[in-house]
C-alpha cells in the first residue's frame, strides 16, 4: 500500500511539474485590442470582410492614417474608415507629423482637420485623433519639439476635437520630447520586444500608461494575404471604449452591389461617375475594387454627404506645390554623402532635393555644402520624357504617384503591377 501511494505521489508530482513548466513555456502573448492601418497595408483600402473577420476575433478598434505633413492625404483612408465603421469597430485616426515650427504645427493640424472631414471622420462620435511624432528629421531641440507638439494638440482642440492623443516610439518619446510638459498624458507608445507578454509592456510609460504597440509584423490567422499589421494593447481604453459612435448610424449594406444600388436610385452608375463620386468622398485612387465600392455604397446608403472641401487640392501633384514652411530644414553635406543617401535619411527624393537646391548634376555635391531639406519645390515644366525611379524601402505606388504627378493606375499599367500594386526594393520602375 505504501509503495502504491508513493508511486501515485510521484506520478502526480510529475504531472504537476509538466503542466507548470508547460504553461510557463507558452506564456500568453499580448492582446490585439486594436490595429493601425494605412495605404501600406493595401493601396485601395482594406475590404469590409477583413474588418468583419478581425472584429469577430476580438479586435475592437482601428486607427487609420489620414494625413502627413501639410501636403499629403492617405489614399486608402476613406475606404478604411468607412469599412471599419461598417464592421462596427471603434474608429480613430492619425496624422504623421512633419512640423518644424509653431506655425507649421498649426498648419498641419488644419490640414488634418480638412482631410478628416473629407474621409468621413466624425469629431463628435468617432474615436481619438492622434499626432504621430516619430520622424527622425523633426527638430532636434527637445523643448522646441515638445512645444510644437503641444501647439498641434492645442489647435486640434480649438478645431473641436475633444479626444486627442499622441503616438511615438518609446525611446523617441522619452529622449526627443519632454513627457512631463506635454499637454497629453497616458500616451500610445511602441516597443517591440523579442518575446512580448500580455499585460507586461516594455515601453517606458513615464507619463502614464496608455496603449502599447507590441509588434509591427503580426499576421492574422487565415488572412496572410493582407500582410503584416501593427498591433496594440489598450490600457486606458482610448481606442476600444465606445460610448457613442457613428458606427451606429451605418446601415447594413446587405448583398446589393454599388452599381445596382445606383441604378435603382436613378443615379448614373458609369465608371466615370463612380470615379467622380469616389473622389468627392476622398477616395483619390479609385480603380473599382470591391473594398472601394463597398465603402461608397455604405456612404450612400447611410446618407453620408461629401464634405464641402475643395477636392482638387487634396493631394499635391506635379503641377502644384505646397506652401513654404516657416522654418526650412537644412543639412550640411559630410564626406561620403550623396543625394541618394541624404534623401533616404530624410524620407524624401533625389528629385525633390535637386529641385530645392537648384542642382543640375545629381551625382555631384560638395562637402560642406548646405542643402535645403524642406521648402517649396518648383515643378519641372516642359519635360515630356519618361521618368524612372529605383524603388527604395518605404516607397509605395500611391506616394510615388503624388511625388511625380502621376496616378497609381498609370504607374500600375506602365510597370504591369499586380492587383496589390506590389513593388520591390531595388527595382527600376517608370513613374512619369
| DSSP-assigned letters across all residues of 79-143 | HHHHHHHHTT-EEEEEEE----SHHHHHHHHHHHHHHHHHHT--TTTS--EEEE---TTS-S-HH
Residues 51 and 367: their CA atoms lie apart, in Å, by 51
Residue 58 has a pLDDT of: 95
pLDDT at 373: 76
- CB neighbours of residue 6 within 10 Å: 10
**Is pLDDT larger for residue 201 or for residue 361?**
201
The helix/strand/coil state of 328 is coil
Q: Give the pLDDT band of residue 52 (cuts 50, 70, 90).
A: very high
pLDDT confidence tier of residue 312, bands split at 50, 70 and 90: very low
Average pLDDT over residues 198-209: 96
- Give the number of other Cβ atoms within 10 Å of residue 229's Cβ: 23
Rounded CA-CA distance 203/167 in Å is: 12
Q: Residue 423: pLDDT above 90? A: no
What would the mean pLDDT of 311-322 be, rounded to a whole number?
A: 37
Q: What is the mean pLDDT of residues 101-107?
A: 95
User: Nearest-CA neighbor of 95 among 67, 76, 74?
Assistant: 67
Average pLDDT over residues 86-101: 95
User: Which stretch of 152-166, 303-317, 358-372 has the lowest confidence by average pLDDT?
Assistant: 303-317
pLDDT at 369: 87
Tell me, what's the pLDDT at 270?
Answer: 83
Q: Which of 11-25, 117-131, 193-207 has the lowest mean pLDDT?
A: 11-25
Please report the domains of the chain, with CATH numbers, ordered by start residue: 34-247 (3.20.20.80), 330-430 (3.10.350.10)
Is it the case that residue 382 has pLDDT exceeding 70?
Answer: no
pTM for this structure? 0.65
pLDDT at 313: 46
Average confidence (pLDDT) over 313-339? 54
* Beta carbons within 8 Å of 348's beta carbon, 6+ residues apart: 373
C-alpha 21/C-alpha 42 separation (Å) is: 41
- The mean per-residue pLDDT over the stretch 79-84 comes to 93
Residue with cell 528629421: 137
Q: Given the C-alpha cell 507548470, which residue does it identify?
A: 20
Pairing state of beta strands 129-132 and 370-372?
A: unpaired
Q: Is 124 exposed, middle or buried (0-12, 13-18, 19+ CB in 10 A)?
A: exposed
pLDDT, residue 256, reads: 61
What is residue 240's predicted lDDT score, i.e. its pLDDT?
Answer: 96
DSSP assignment of 390-410, as one string?
Answer: E--TT--HHHHHHHHT--HHH
Determine the Cα–Cα distance for residues 223 and 214; give it in Å rounded to an integer: 20
* Mean pLDDT score, 274-294: 74
Whole-number Å distance between alpha carbons of 297 and 54: 21
Question: SS3 of 3, please?
Answer: helix
Pick the range with the lowest mean pLDDT from 141-145, 311-315, 410-414: 311-315
pLDDT mean over 375-387:
48
Q: Please give the Cα distance from 63 to 40 (Å, whole number).
A: 14
Residue ranges of the alpha helices (H) in 213-302?
258-264, 271-280, 290-301
Whether 302 shows a pLDDT value over 60: the answer reads yes
Average pLDDT for residues 185-193, to the nearest whole number? 96
DSSP string covering 47-65: -HHHHHHHHHTT--EEEEE
Please state, in angstroms and rounded to a whole number, the distance separating the CA atoms of residues 72 and 115.
Answer: 9
Contact between 365 and 371 under an 8 Å Cβ cutoff? The reply is: yes
Q: CB–CB of 344/395 below 8 Å?
A: no
Number of helices followed by number of strands (H, E) in the chain:
13, 13
Amino acid at each position: 500500500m505504501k509503495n502504491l501511494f508513493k508511486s501515485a505521489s510521484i506520478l502526480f508530482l510529475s504531472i504537476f511539474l509538466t503542466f507548470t513548466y508547460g504553461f510557463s513555456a507558452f506564456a500568453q502573448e499580448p492582446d490585439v485590442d486594436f490595429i493601425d492601418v494605412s495605404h501600406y497595408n493595401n493601396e485601395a483600402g482594406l475590404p469590409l470582410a477583413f474588418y468583419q473577420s478581425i472584429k469577430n476575433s476580438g479586435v475592437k478598434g482601428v486607427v487609420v492614417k489620414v494625413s502627413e505633413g501639410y501636403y499629403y492625404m492617405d489614399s486608402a483612408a476613406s475606404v478604411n474608415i468607412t469599412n471599419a465603421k461598417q464592421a462596427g469597430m471603434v474608429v480613430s485616426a492619425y496624422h504623421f507629423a512633419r512640423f518644424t515650427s509653431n506655425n507649421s504645427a498649426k498648419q498641419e493640424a488644419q490640414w488634418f482637420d480638412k482631410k478628416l472631414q473629407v474621409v468621413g471622420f466624425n469629431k463628435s462620435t468617432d474615436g481619438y485623433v492622434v499626432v504621430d511624432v516619430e520622424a527622425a528629421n523633426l527638430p532636434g531641440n527637445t523643448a522646441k519639439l515638445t512645444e510644437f507638439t503641444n501647439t498641434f494638440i492645442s489647435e486640434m482642440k480649438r478645431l473641436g476635437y475633444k479626444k486627442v492623443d499622441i503616438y511615438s516610439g518609446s525611446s523617441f518619446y522619452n529622449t526627443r520630447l519632454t513627457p512631463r510638459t506635454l499637454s497629453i498624458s497616458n500616451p500610445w507608445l511602441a516597443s517591440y520586444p523579442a518575446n512580448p507578454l500580455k499585460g507586461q509592456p516594455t515601453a517606458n510609460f513615464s507619463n502614464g500608461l496608455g496603449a502599447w504597440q507590441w509588434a509591427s509584423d503580426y499576421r492574422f490567422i487565415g488572412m496572410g494575404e493582407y500582410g503584416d499589421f501593427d498591433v496594440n494593447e489598450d490600457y486606458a481604453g482610448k481606442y476600444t471604449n465606445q460610448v457613442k459612435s457613428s458606427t451606429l448610424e451605418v446601415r447594413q449594406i446587405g448583398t446589393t452591389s454599388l452599381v445596382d444600388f445606383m441604378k435603382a436610385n436613378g443615379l448614373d452608375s458609369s465608371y466615370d461617375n463612380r470615379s467622380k463620386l469616389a473622389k468627392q468622398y476622398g477616395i483619390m485612387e479609385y480603380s473599382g475594387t470591391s473594398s472601394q465600392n463597398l465603402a461608397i455604397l455604405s456612404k450612400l446608403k447611410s446618407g453620408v454627404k461629401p464634405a464641402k472641401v475643395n477636392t482638387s487640392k487634396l493631394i499635391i501633384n506635379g503641377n502644384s506645390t505646397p506652401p513654404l514652411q516657416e522654418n526650412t530644414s537644412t543639412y550640411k553635406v559630410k564626406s561620403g554623402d550623396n543625394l541618394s543617401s541624404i534623401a533616404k535619411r530624410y524620407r524624401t527624393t533625389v528629385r525633390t532635393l535637386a529641385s530645392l537646391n537648384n542642382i543640375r548634376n545629381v551625382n555631384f555635391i560638395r562637402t560642406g555644402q548646405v542643402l535645403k531639406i524642406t521648402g517649396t519645390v518648383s515643378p519641372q515644366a516642359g519635360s515630356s520624357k519618361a521618368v524612372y525611379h529605383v524603388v527604395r524601402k518605404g516607397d509605395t505606388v500611391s506616394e510615388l504617384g503624388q511625388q511625380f504627378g502621376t496616378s497609381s493606375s498609370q504607374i500600375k499599367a506602365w510597370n504591369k503591377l499586380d492587383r496589390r500594386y506590389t513593388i520591390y526594393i531595388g527595382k527600376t520602375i517608370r513613374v512619369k
